[in-house]
Chain A
């Protein structure tokens, strides 16, 4: 175990070195400042171009989830955020495209190069910081109380490319989101929301089963900067996945995460 700790420490040290170098490279004071006229800064929005990039990542990684479809999803990030009457629009200086929103707050985006060239934003009629944004990748045939590992990995990749997930903007974190395929190659933790409050999660692949440790449920005990994170309000539904270690342990794309809800009658892995 100690050897493992040392290896991880070396990995972090290397990451710190890369981060420092990147920051030094990025300190270019000759870069011109660009002021955007007429932009709306108080709405919860994401870059349309970034979200299109996320859709491209989905298409390029279809092998992870060959039967899956991609939607995007929003959830409330704070108490008091109403999910009734949400209105979504792809909005630029010269473009305004209404986007239908399903009853479960999922949506798909139209591909409109004119809007991308217009630096359009995918914008909700809610204040900035009201919503948690996620990709929603669902393969056919997965039970409602379960998720497929390959689907979740693809969600992570789309979220990284689309800059969907709120996170603490520490330089290392920013650097990680810009790296090539951090979901699969770096020991990062991605936060997901189950549909209901969770008590436990069991990994299942054929006859192989493993209960996920409690560390992977409900987020850290004391998040340091909860205002910069988007999961704390719905923490009873939160689970996290570390793809790198799971895949290294031999879990495959077809592995299923089975959820045991707090209010389910028959808990998975119940005591004898």
Chain B
């Protein structure tokens, strides 16, 4: 039982640290109309998206594509933390913006999830 005393603060601290909006916070109140104006498929670049929404959580794939993720709630990084990921998960987030860039760094798809 003694070990829990050491683990518990770590879990809670990590959970709190991961509890925030990714980027500049614009996604928190982003409407679908605003998203459609800010993100143009086949045209918007990484620089355009970074300017509009700030720094994203980025996943790079072997096929050359890149996924930028803006989350309101827990950052996806908490899903990699042992013990923490048994307690909290970014899967509980109700709002997030996913943007897929093609090999040339141009938006191929995006999805505003709000539920």
Interface residue ranges, A against B (CB under 8 Å)? 1, 4-5, 8-9, 11-13, 15-17, 79, 170, 187, 197, 199-200, 210-216, 218, 220-224, 233, 235-236, 242, 260, 262, 267, 269-272
Contacts and interface: CB of A to CB of B under 8 A. Distances in A.
Contacts of B35: 271
Contacts, number: 109
A186 to B, nearest CB: 10
B111 A200 contact: yes
Contact of A262 (B83, B85, B109, B110): B109
Contact of B15 (A5, A221, A233): A5
Contact of A199 (B80, B90, B98): B98
Given A214-B69, A233-B62, A220 B79 contact: yes
Interface in B84-115: 85-93, 96, 98, 100, 108-113, 115
B11 A215 contact: no
Contact of A187 (B3, B61, B86, B98): B86
B59 interface: yes
Given A9-B11, A12-B83, A213 B62 contact: no
Contacts of B89: 215
Q: Considering residues A17, A187, A211, which has the most beta carbons from chain B within 10 angstroms of its beta carbon? A: A211
B51 interface: no
B36 interface: yes
B74 to A, nearest CB: 8
Given A200-B98, A210-B115, A272-B36, A9 B80 contact: no
A245 to B, nearest CB: 8
Contacts of A216: 91
A214 B96 contact: yes
Contact of B79 (A11, A15, A211, A221): A221
B43 interface: no
B49 interface: no
A199 B59 contact: no
Given A200-B111, A210-B115, A269-B111, A220 B32 contact: no
A31 B53 CA distance: 60
Given A12-B87, A267-B109, A272-B36, A236 B80 contact: no
Contacts of A212: 91
Nearest to A261: B109
